[in-house]
Structure 1
């Protein structure tokens, strides 16, 4: 599915929310194998019983990757991911937690070197089934302008 949207079409405050996704033990084990992160916080249930959280926690990078994937939808040929800023892991995610993601357009700005593009900032918030915040970050999009901005040229 394609959804054509130029920089000018993005509205500050536009908000969307995903359906839920339960993080499974298989997710954690597969992510450990893909990344080589076999730290006991993720893999050793008995050791985790002696720690503050009392149980295994999912990798932060797993939750980040899953959450961003959950926000992926229609392809916009005028935009591409430009990166992520201010990524924070707020609370742990446990096996069998169900996460949802809220994405809100919070900023639009000129690109410092490309007058024909702007940067759209989408704040990403990940919640568990208790609506506790787990992860936050800013997703930056590089978005083509319908027309070159006079402000961007100076």
Structure 2
């Protein structure tokens, strides 16, 4: 989806990514990298006594995996511009397969050879449930730079 210049995006267009299964190794590695060893993610005995009844993936891990599902082309993406309205709606468990849905909701020409594309992002589980929702913004290069 992020493989074309700014002026080729249209409000309302959507894109769906391939799937990716979340593994125990993902959770353990993310805990190690982030330093977030909260027991809901890393302690199965603790997690059994929560509303989830099992360990869940870190919300930021799920968000990061979603980012990895984006198709980005060097030269078209100038920079990641930000996240707004981020919500973690449903838990993602070990073994869940998630995919990403992006829908263009806004286009702002920056007038400097770039423009900001705003997407409604949904990270969706194999059950069809939305796990994460956010507004993503990317600074995209134009085909012809000013």
Question: With structure 1 as the length reference, what TM-score do the two structures score?
Answer: 0.84
CA-to-partner distance for each residue in 1:111-149, whole Å, 9 max, x for gaps? 4xxx3232110111001110000001111112344476x
Deviation by residue 1:79-123 (Cα, 9 ceiling, x = unmatched): 322121111111111111110111111111244xxx323211011
Residue 121 of structure 1 corresponds to: 118
Partner SS state of residue 69, structure 2: helix
Cα deviation, 1:35-91, whole Å, max 9, x if unaligned, reads: 110011001101111111100010001000000110133334363221211111111
CA contact (8 A) 1:71 1:103 kept: no
Question: Which residue of structure 2 lines up, in the alignment, with residue 152 of structure 1?
Answer: none
User: Normalising to structure 2: TM-score of the pair?
Assistant: 0.88
Question: How many residues matched?
Answer: 143
Distance 1:72 1:81 in 2: 13
Assess if the C-alpha contact under 8 Å between 1:93 and 1:134 holds in 2: yes
Give the gaps of 5 or more residues in structure 1. 149-154
In the alignment, the residues of structure 2 paired with residue 13 and residue 136 of structure 1 have an alpha-carbon distance, to the nearest angstrom, of: 17
Displacement over 2 Å in runs of 4+ = 72-80, 143-148
Between the aligned partners of 2:49 and 2:77, the Cα distance in structure 1 is: 50
- Alignment match, 1:17: 16
After the TM superposition, which of the residue ranges 121-130 and 77-86 deviates more from structure 2?
A: 77-86
- 2:139 is matched with which residue? 142
- TM-fit CA distance, 1:4: 4.6
Aligned equivalents of 1:78 and 1:89: distance in 2?
26
Give me the whole-angstrom Cα distance separating, in 2, the residues matched to 1:86 and 1:144.
24
**Aligned partners of 2:83 and 2:125: how far apart in 1?**
21
Instruction: Indicate if the aligned counterparts of 2:107 and 2:115 stay in contact, CA closer than 8 A.
Output: yes
1:70 maps to 69
